[in-house]
Amino acid sequence: MPRIRTWENLPPGVRGHLADRMRDREIGIPDLNRLRLWIDSNPEVPEGDWYKNFGTFEICGSGSLPKTFLLRGQAAKGKAV
């Protein structure tokens, strides 16, 4: 299974999209810290589509790449991690 990429290892376009979604979704610093701790744990993620629920938001990805953020109540697709 792949491991999620860190911020520094993301393609510039993906980094920009994630930063835009963080602002659009008004994801707060405490939530981003929980996300950072999870990513720092070097988690394995599925090869295909996946999502991780953090309560107030979800991060969605495919393989090693995180792709977007969803707010609570928005439908995620893929395998929960």
23 falls within a domain? yes
45 falls within a domain? yes
Residue 60: CA count within 13 A, CB half-sphere: 14
Structural domain containing residue 18 = 7-80
Beta strands, E only, the chain: 49-53, 57-62, 65-71, 79-80
pLDDT at 1: 87
2 falls within a domain? no
pLDDT at 16: 95
**Spatial contact of 12 and 18, defined as CB atoms under 8 Å apart:** no
pLDDT at 71: 87
**Spatial contact of 60 and 76, defined as CB atoms under 8 Å apart:** yes
Work out how many domains the chain is built from and give that number. Answer: 1
1 falls within a domain? no
Residue 11 DSSP label: -
Q: How far apart are CA 66 and CA 39, in angstroms?
A: 10
pLDDT digits (tens, 9 = 90+) for 6-58: 989 999 999 999 999 999 999 999 999 999 999 999 999 999 999 999 988 99
